[in-house]
Amino acid sequence: MLLLHRAVVLRLQQACRLKSVPSRICIQACSTNDSFQPQRPSLTFSGDNSSTQGWRVMGTLLGLGAVLAYQDHRCRAAQESTHIYTKEEVSSHTSPETGIWVTLGSEVFDVTEFVDLHPGGPSKLMLAAGGPLEPFWALYAVHNQSHVRELLAQYKIGELNPEDKVAPTVETSDPYADDPVRHPALKVNSQRPFNAEPPPELLTENYITPNPIFFTRNHLPVPNLDPDTYRLHVVGAPGGQSLSLSLDDLHNFPRYEITVTLQCAGNRRSEMTQVKEVKGLEWRTGAISTARWAGARLCDVLAQAGHQLCETEAHVCFEGLDSDPTGTAYGASIPLARAMDPEAEVLLAYEMNGQPLPRDHGFPVRVVVPGVVGARHVKWLGRVSVQPEESYSHWQRRDYKGFSPSVDWDTVDFDSAPSIQELPVQSAITEPRDGETVESGEVTIKGYAWSGGGRAVIRVDVSLDGGLTWQVAKLDGEEQRPRKAWAWRLWQLKAPVPAGQKELNIVCKAVDDGYNVQPDTVAPIWNLRGVLSNAWHRVHVYVSP
Amino acid sequence: MLLLHRAVVLRLQQACRLKSVPSRICIQACSTNDSFQPQRPSLTFSGDNSSTQGWRVMGTLLGLGAVLAYQDHRCRAAQESTHIYTKEEVSSHTSPETGIWVTLGSEVFDVTEFVDLHPGGPSKLMLAAGGPLEPFWALYAVHNQSHVRELLAQYKIGELNPEDKVAPTVETSDPYADDPVRHPALKVNSQRPFNAEPPPELLTENYITPNPIFFTRNHLPVPNLDPDTYRLHVVGAPGGQSLSLSLDDLHNFPRYEITVTLQCAGNRRSEMTQVKEVKGLEWRTGAISTARWAGARLCDVLAQAGHQLCETEAHVCFEGLDSDPTGTAYGASIPLARAMDPEAEVLLAYEMNGQPLPRDHGFPVRVVVPGVVGARHVKWLGRVSVQPEESYSHWQRRDYKGFSPSVDWDTVDFDSAPSIQELPVQSAITEPRDGETVESGEVTIKGYAWSGGGRAVIRVDVSLDGGLTWQVAKLDGEEQRPRKAWAWRLWQLKAPVPAGQKELNIVCKAVDDGYNVQPDTVAPIWNLRGVLSNAWHRVHVYVSP
Q: Are strands A537-543 and A437-438 parallel, antiparallel or unpaired?
A: parallel
Q: Which of A118, A233, A251, A433 is catalytic?
A: A118
- How far apart are alpha carbons B7 and A169 in whole angstroms? 74
pLDDT for A10-67, tens place per residue? Answer: 343 443 333 333 333 332 333 333 333 333 333 333 333 444 344 433 433 343 333 3
Continuous segment of H or E residues that includes residue A10:
helix A2-16
In whole angstroms, what separates CA A269 from the centre of its chain? 16
Which pLDDT belongs to residue A167? Answer: 52
Q: How far apart are the first and last CA of chain B?
A: 30
Does B299 share its domain with B245? yes
- How far apart are alpha carbons B232 and B247 in whole angstroms? 8
Cis peptide before B364 (omega within 30 of 0): yes
pLDDT for B265-300, tens place per residue? Answer: 999 999 999 999 998 999 999 999 999 999 999 999
pLDDT (average), residues B215-236: 97
Q: Cα–Cα–Cα angle for B458, A263, A369, nearest 5°?
A: 75
Contact by Cβ (8 Å): B351, B291: no
Q: Computed from CA positions of residues A42, A48, A51, A56, in that sequence, does the dihedral angle turn out positive or negative?
A: positive
Does A341 share its domain with A454? no
DSSP string, A441-483: SEEEEEEEEE-STTPPEEEEEEESBTTSS-EEPEEESPPPPTT
Considering only the beta carbons, identify the residue of B313, B404, B525 that sits closest to A472.
B404
Considering only the beta carbons, identify the residue of B313, B405, B519 that sits closest to A520.
B519
CA–CA distance from A70 to each of A63, A111, B58 (Å)? 11, 13, 85
Provide the domain count of chain A.
Answer: 3
Task: With CB atoms and an 8 Å threshold, state whether B514 touches A404.
Answer: no
Tell me what the pLDDT averaged over chain B comes to.
86
Interface contact B501, partner A, CB < 8 A: no
Q: Looking at beta carbons, which residues of chain A come within 8 Å of B518?
A: 519
Which pLDDT belongs to residue A125? Answer: 86
Interface probe with A: pick from B515, B522, B531, B532, most Cβ of A within 10 Å: B515
Interface contact A519, partner B, CB < 8 A: yes
Chain B nearest CA to A322, separation (Å):
28
In whole angstroms, what separates CA A1 from the centre of its chain? 21
Residue B52 lies in a domain: no
DSSP string, B199-246: -HHHHTT-SSPPGGGS-EE-SSPPP---TTT--EEEPPPTTS--EEE-
Residue A179 lies in a domain: no
Chain B nearest CA to A377, separation (Å):
17
Task: With CB atoms and an 8 Å threshold, state whether B518 touches A519.
Answer: yes
pLDDT above 60 (res B374)? yes
Q: Are strands B489-496 and B442-450 parallel, antiparallel or unpaired?
A: antiparallel
Task: With CB atoms and an 8 Å threshold, state whether B515 touches A458.
Answer: no
Residue B405 lies in a domain: no
Task: With CB atoms and an 8 Å threshold, state whether A524 touches B402.
Answer: no
| B301 HSE (CA, 13 A, CB side) | 33
Task: With CB atoms and an 8 Å threshold, state whether B406 touches A461.
Answer: yes
- CATH for A129: 3.10.120.10
Does A259 share its domain with A378? yes
Considering only the beta carbons, identify the residue of B343, B470, B519 that sits closest to A405.
B470
- How far apart are alpha carbons A232 and B404 in whole angstroms? 48
Phi, psi of A74, deg, nearest 5: -65, -20
Interface probe with A: pick from B517, B522, B531, most Cβ of A within 10 Å: B517
Write out residues 300-339 of A within 8 Å (CB-CB) of B: 313, 335, 337
Does B245 share its domain with B350? yes
pLDDT band at B27 (very low <50, low <70, confident <90, very high): very low
Does A232 share its domain with A151? no
Please identify, among B160, B177, B202, the residue that sits at the C-terminal boundary of a domain. B160
Q: Is B143 a catalytic residue?
A: yes
Contact by Cβ (8 Å): B451, B485: yes
In whole angstroms, what separates CA A377 from the centre of its chain? 15
Contact by Cβ (8 Å): A127, A136: yes
Q: Which of A140, A350, A400, A448 is catalytic?
A: A400
Q: Looking at beta carbons, which residues of chain B come within 8 Å of A421?
A: 513-514
Contact by Cβ (8 Å): B28, B138: no
Phi, psi of A173, deg, nearest 5: -80, -5
Does B296 share its domain with B237? yes
Strand partners, B255: B296
- How far apart are alpha carbons B384 and B299 in whole angstroms? 12
Considering only the beta carbons, identify the residue of B402, B471, B516 that sits closest to A424.
B516
pLDDT for B134-170, tens place per residue? Answer: 888 876 666 877 888 888 999 999 999 888 765 555 4
CA–CA distance from A57 to each of A4, A23, A363, A506 (Å)? 9, 8, 31, 28
Contact by Cβ (8 Å): A139, A120: no
Task: With CB atoms and an 8 Å threshold, state whether A520 touches B518.
Answer: no
Task: With CB atoms and an 8 Å threshold, state whether A337 touches B404.
Answer: no
Helix, strand, coil percent content, chain B, rounded in steps of 5: 25, 25, 50
Q: Is B118 a catalytic residue?
A: yes
Higher pLDDT, A111 or B124: A111
Contact by Cβ (8 Å): A460, A472: yes
Which pLDDT belongs to residue A56? Answer: 39
Does A276 share its domain with A327? yes
- How far apart are alpha carbons A445 and A492 in whole angstroms? 5
- How far apart are alpha carbons B46 and B44 in whole angstroms? 6
Residue A17 lies in a domain: no
Considering only the beta carbons, identify the residue of A452, A458, A525 that sits closest to B517.
A525
Does A297 share its domain with A373? yes
Please identify, among A119, A142, A160, the residue that sits at the C-terminal boundary of a domain. A160
pLDDT (average), residues A85-91: 93
Angle, nearest 10°, between helix axes A50-72 and A2-16?
10
Task: With CB atoms and an 8 Å threshold, state whether B335 touches A482.
Answer: yes
Residue B4 lies in a domain: no
Q: Looking at beta carbons, which residues of chain B come within 8 Å of A407?
A: 472
Q: Is B264 a catalytic residue?
A: yes
- How far apart are alpha carbons B320 and B384 in whole angstroms? 9
Contact by Cβ (8 Å): B401, B416: no
Tell me what the pLDDT averaged over chain A comes to.
86
Does A146 share its domain with A217? no
- How far apart are alpha carbons A333 and A390 in whole angstroms? 6
Higher pLDDT, A29 or B328: B328
Does A452 share its domain with A375? no
Higher pLDDT, B37 or A403: A403
pLDDT band at B307 (very low <50, low <70, confident <90, very high): very high
Residue B35 lies in a domain: no
According to DSSP, residue A75 is labeled: T
- CATH for A525: 2.60.40.650
Q: Are strands B366-368 and B355-356 parallel, antiparallel or unpaired?
A: unpaired
ipTM for the complex shown: 0.79
- How far apart are alpha carbons A394 and A396 in whole angstroms? 5
CA nearest A423 in B: which residue?
A: B514
Phi, psi of B100, deg, nearest 5: -115, 110
pLDDT above 70 (res A454)? yes
Burial class of residue A434 in the structure, from the number of CB atoms within 10 Å of its CB (0-12 exposed, 13-18 middle, 19+ buried): middle
Other CB atoms within a 10 A radius of the CB of residue A541 amount to 21
Q: Cα–Cα–Cα angle for A58, A216, A195, nearest 5°?
A: 125
CA nearest B453 in A: which residue?
A: A514
Which pLDDT belongs to residue B23? Answer: 34
Does A239 share its domain with A150? no
Q: Which of B5, B56, B93, B143 is catalytic?
A: B143
- CATH for B334: 3.90.420.10
Does A123 share its domain with A231? no
According to DSSP, residue B51 is labeled: H
pLDDT above 90 (res B72)? no
pLDDT above 50 (res B100)? yes
- How far apart are alpha carbons A102 and A95 in whole angstroms? 11
pLDDT (average), residues A242-255: 98
Is the pTM here over 0.95, yes or no? no
Residue B417 lies in a domain: no
Considering only the beta carbons, identify the residue of A404, A452, A532 that sits closest to B461.
A404
Which pLDDT belongs to residue B18? Answer: 35
Q: Which residues, 6 or more positions from B196, have their beta carbon under 8 angstroms from its beta carbon?
A: B182, B186, B187, B188, B189, B190, B215, B216
Among residues B8, B448, B537, the alpha carbon closest in space to that of B200 is found at B448
Contact by Cβ (8 Å): B337, A482: yes
Interface contact A411, partner B, CB < 8 A: no
Residue B223 lies in a domain: yes
Range of the domain at A445: 425-543
CA–CA distance from A401 to each of A272, A395, A418, A529, B471 (Å)? 15, 9, 6, 8, 18
- How far apart are alpha carbons A14 and A37 in whole angstroms? 38
